[in-house]
Amino acid sequence: MEEKLIAAAFGCLGGLTRSFIGIFKARARHDKIKLGYIVRTMKLSFFSGALIGALLGFNYLVSFIAGYVGSDAIEGALASFKRTKFGKKHFKNLR
């Protein structure tokens, strides 16, 4: 059980890294930084890192990369889904 938590922590660390990179990019463009977006990104990266880490044998580097990349993949899928007719109707408030 302890290894699963370590894998999840590495996934969360990967997501945190991604969040910080996003914050630095947003500051460079003078965009508004949304705390809710960062929190959602951390949650997604935590779960994706933990899941991939558990499936692939608790390789911590893989968990870190899964946390970094996993939330991007999920958000990309949601963004694509929101552009469909069903998504526009049911997910119009999802940001």
Structural domain boundaries in the chain: 2-90
Distance of alpha carbon 49 from alpha carbon 68, whole angstroms? 8
Alpha-carbon distances of 24 from 33, 41, 75, 77, rounded to whole Å:
10, 15, 19, 24
pTM of the shown model: 0.66
* Residue 34, φ and ψ in degrees, nearest 5: -100, 115
Q: What is the pLDDT of residues 13-66, one digit of tens each?
A: 887 787 788 788 888 998 887 888 778 777 777 777 777 777 765 678 888 888
